[in-house]
Structure 1
């Protein structure tokens, strides 16, 4: 039997990311997208179609560029998808005839097109594009959007003027538009000063649902709206006091289901499933108020990035909805009835990261990952509920590479809270030998480590480290009280959670050398790494990525700082700067003795690079052992979806740093 090899950094290009499964109207086949990294070190993705009674998918698009959001027309004649053929090109809509022929580009808008939704009669496609209010574009590029223009001064008059995802914002906003297949023409149906996000059509094709924040940047929230296609009248269905999204019409058109919450615990509030009565407009009912679970996918990794949320999915009879929920390290599917009864549909230690429902048959198609598989497409059913693997596109990778199966570890924190975590043994583990260990800390903090593939964790295990990671308080998956428990206490009991977890791991596995421990994390995990090395010397080396070091400056420089500091620390710069400084790792920099690697993206607007600069300067001036690595053209998503060569460079820096101090 051939021995499997150890994982490498370059294996990033051997991993397929399979996303956005979509069933055909007749239920006989499904489409999906395969994304991968090319030999030229670019991201590429293609459209595939596979019949349920066959084992091999058929590739339908080729060449460079990216494909996303495939959607079958209800009459089964077309697939619409979004594609950007070149690296800097704007994404546009393409129509692919299912009876043969090449895809036709149907939009040529200067700022691109995305988020397609078919009308029930297949005659129109609802989608989004961007333009400034009063400046509706022609459907022709005219060279705009694909060429580099001389940069003009950026005039800032609004509070929210930048975004980590989009960079500096201009005066354009996301608008709703319709493409008419019969007329081969585009109609812009909104002309707003705020972003409008579509989520679907009413069954009779007369109304659309969307969500938007029409109260301005100072208001953090969004509301569900519906719009009459003919009269262009808009109806607000939620009361402006919460964050609601993904409104979807019921099969009879009388109700809209959506996700949302009323910000009782600010950004730590569980998202719930709601039903809105369309005729009454503003009458809404929470179906999951009694279920202490967050709706949606909270599980994080470094392979599956930017997965689209389909929202709640109605069953054929309109009596229940299929939803994702993340519980104790796994993301599964649940069926929620209109009277609030909840049934688990899928079960297992895995991560359901992508899904759709063929309403007529009740067939479910889902992307599912495990710690030892990046992900494949599976089918299930509302009735049967067993899982049937449909694709095997990552089998060549998993057949050749030795991957570590995590062992679950439960630790008990000082105040009695249970903390779930896992450990990966080092590759080639041999009884009687000792090994260095590395503690990993996730970002968020309102996210969840879990049963999904994580290349970085597997890479460190392949390099000979025991890798351990946990969900301290603040993490999703363990109830509302737990996810809210870190707010106003950053560096308090959340710090105790990870330290007690470290004690539990090293006590349970005496083969881990307590004198050779490292710690690393990004975003909130970067904050916690900085905090740890300022409060203990038990780690021999540390690495911090896209970190927070100073809450005072974070308030004014982050794209979310003006509300996030209040939400998470409990105050802001104008109210209590001393409180922000108390929770800032920079305050404790003189106590840092641990060698610290600092890595940061130059274009990170979530945790801007000045956070790293301040930390590095203070450490260097104090004569401490540190190294600062800046990554050009990389934002907050560097480790997950950044330029491939920079992702590899980051992992090279990380592994070399720990090898220097822990081996």
Structure 2
């Protein structure tokens, strides 16, 4: 793959399926370099053997949800101002009808059981901000008074003056007469308001300064379940209450007190509430390898159905699909994301492994299951399964475009660290006899993992002639909680040992890999461990430190997760922090270093990069700094396509100078 071949990587979002299993609907997304944006539409496949056909023709349609009566599909599409709004289209295909008109857009939504209403969450701007007053520029707004421990979020910006609230809106019939703009008239009383077609008037159900996240209707449709995220006055608390908001606007009740950190919530056909959650401890801040489990509330007290020590349901985008009395969930393990079926008594059945499941849905009878999956040959496909997972059939072939662009299949490898601990990972190698210069890649997180899916970061480097070595060291996800928690208060210890041991093992396993020409690179936590490695090991020809967690001290007061991340990972003792800080040992670095960062990165703020870069230059180390305007921490995954291509080109140019093929 070349840098511009990111256009060939088509990702597939969480699918929906008709209650009778007769068809499925899903959204795709891919980068379009010429348009300089991510594009995608909704697709429909008639089951079991139909061909995919486009259901919509928007620029970036996403998040389709089928109405319970299977007649309509609601989805998110940007309005003229670029804000995501709920739209509705007939399940058989029609012109899309805009349903919401939220001033800052909609983040999430859900159908009512009767298919006539949609609940959604939208941020409500404080009067005088975010365009609520024509002509008032952001720099002319009143100052923000901050009294809590949080004030911004990566990819969003300020959050305290635009809390997310729950709304409900009636869904118009897509067959209704369209709305027409009234012509000018001489007398005001001659113009009557007309309510045919178009977006309806949404009713706001929640108030206050706290934000709400996620919505799902109860089985009788009288309430909407949602979690509350309140900005804390003193210290971060990850525990989130679950509340039920009355659809008629008469108030709300607490379903679960703030005991868990709650993710996805689902309601089974019998009214039981299931949720994915972890226990952040008595102080509400323990999030390291959090141990996300499936819980069910079918009585007065929630019951845990899965063991968080052995089953990890915390993958980004992980969600619940009720199937009768059972539930489908995603378990990440050894670079894969498996599909599991869990019964009410906690019995766990593995339905599909060997790939990465990104989303799933099942018909009412549970006889047909559709999954969005990524494989070693594709960034996204739709997979059809039977109820037991025995009969599997790919319904799409989006990976063919990547095949035409060209890729290699990585080789799986396990290496023993010096203490005997097994380190699992992969080696991707160009074709030919070699020898090949080698790049050691380190993932972010740290509680994340490299997986089996087709990965542009690796493929572009291999195409340029580099062998790429990457693994999931201690601290990563997918190998049990003890693996993930092993570097808590000990960053830069076993994790560094593991990545270097895996590098040595990979070099020893293939004589085509040139151990005398090795580089190192990583982003986020990977940027941390790269900066830490080059301060302690000087074998590398050069390094790339990207969007790194580089100074835990300043991170505390600048990052959107600074109120708890550093405290939990490196502790609060100044000596302990210093013993794990790349900035504290930057004077030991002798490796030429390329520092890459984004201007609007609030996760690992820009100052982490600029201060690290400045320290390198002040001590005479060859260093360069590349800053991307308008991008945040997600540049490599969802940034503007041209920026993603320019980033790849800059990386290849850096390696061509310091580690020529």
Give me the TM-score of the superposition, normalised by structure 2: 0.90
1:97 and 2:62 correspond? no
**Partner residue in 2 for 1:507:** 508
Q: In structure 2, what is the Cα distance between the partners aligned to 1:234 and 1:175?
A: 13
Q: Deviations over 1:22-54 (max 9, x none)?
A: 112332111111212232222222122221245
Q: Does the aligned pair in 2 maintain the 1:556–1:562 contact within 8 Å? A: yes
1:420 and 2:415 correspond? no
Local SS of the residue matching 1:534: helix
Relative contact order, higher structure (CA 8 A, sep 6+): 2
Q: Does the aligned pair in 2 maintain the 1:594–1:625 contact within 8 Å? A: yes
Q: Deviations over 1:308-364 (max 9, x none)?
A: 44x222212x1x21110001111011111111111101122x111122222324311
Structure 1 pair 536–99 and aligned structure 2 pair: CA distance change class (3 A): closer
Local SS of the residue matching 2:62: strand
Equivalent positions of 1:59-138 (< 5 A) are 59-63=54-58, 65-86=59-80, 89-98=82-91, 101-131=94-124
Structure 1 pair 232–178 and aligned structure 2 pair: CA distance change class (3 A): same
**Partner residue in 2 for 1:247:** 265
Local SS of the residue matching 1:645: helix
1:58 CA displacement: 2.0
Q: Deviations over 1:272-310 (max 9, x none)?
A: 1111235x2xx1111113751211426xxxxxxxxx44x
**Partner residue in 1 for 2:179:** none
1:260 CA displacement: 0.7
Q: Does the aligned pair in 2 maintain the 1:120–1:201 contact within 8 Å? A: yes
1:272 and 2:288 correspond? no
Q: In structure 2, what is the Cα distance between the partners aligned to 1:215 and 1:15?
A: 38
Structure 1 pair 355–608 and aligned structure 2 pair: CA distance change class (3 A): same
**Partner residue in 1 for 2:19:** 25
Equivalent positions of 1:148-163 (< 5 A) are 151-157=140-146, 158-163=148-153
1:220 CA displacement: 2.2
Q: Does the aligned pair in 2 maintain the 1:226–1:237 contact within 8 Å? A: yes
Q: Deviations over 1:221-256 (max 9, x none)?
A: 322222333463433233323312322222111x21
Q: In structure 2, what is the Cα distance between the partners aligned to 1:424 and 1:59?
A: 35
Local SS of the residue matching 2:6: helix
1:136 CA displacement: 14
1:384 CA displacement: 4.6
Q: In structure 2, what is the Cα distance between the partners aligned to 1:290 and 1:636?
A: 28
Q: Deviations over 1:63-122 (max 9, x none)?
A: 5x3211211211222211111045x52111112134664211122221222422111111
Structure 1 pair 71–173 and aligned structure 2 pair: CA distance change class (3 A): same
Q: In structure 1, what is the Cα distance between the partners aligned to 2:215 and 2:308?
A: 26
**Partner residue in 1 for 2:350:** 344
Q: In structure 2, what is the Cα distance between the partners aligned to 1:151 and 1:588?
A: 42
**Partner residue in 2 for 1:220:** 238
Q: In structure 2, what is the Cα distance between the partners aligned to 1:277 and 1:524?
A: 39
1:527 and 2:520 correspond? no
1:595 CA displacement: 0.8
**Partner residue in 2 for 1:452:** 453
Q: Does the aligned pair in 1 maintain the 2:288–2:488 contact within 8 Å? A: no
**Partner residue in 2 for 1:437:** 438
1:441 CA displacement: 0.2
Structure 1 pair 465–382 and aligned structure 2 pair: CA distance change class (3 A): same
Among 192, 202, 206, which residue is 1:190 paired with? 206
1:206 and 2:212 correspond? no
Among 169, 183, 187, which residue is 1:179 paired with? 169
1:643 CA displacement: 1.3
1:41 and 2:41 correspond? no
1:56 CA displacement: 2.6
Equivalent positions of 1:353-372 (< 5 A) are 353-372=358-377
**Partner residue in 1 for 2:640:** 643
Local SS of the residue matching 2:475: coil
1:584 and 2:581 correspond? yes
1:256 and 2:277 correspond? no
**Partner residue in 2 for 1:614:** 611
Among 410, 424, 427, which residue is 2:414 paired with? 410
Q: In structure 2, what is the Cα distance between the partners aligned to 1:589 and 1:457?
A: 27
**Partner residue in 1 for 2:467:** 466
Q: In structure 2, what is the Cα distance between the partners aligned to 1:136 and 1:531?
A: 45
Local SS of the residue matching 1:268: coil
**Partner residue in 2 for 1:50:** 45
Q: Does the aligned pair in 2 maintain the 1:439–1:517 contact within 8 Å? A: yes
Q: In structure 1, what is the Cα distance between the partners aligned to 2:616 and 2:386?
A: 56
Aligned residues: 626
Q: In structure 2, what is the Cα distance between the partners aligned to 1:370 and 1:342?
A: 23
Q: Does the aligned pair in 1 maintain the 2:74–2:88 contact within 8 Å? A: yes
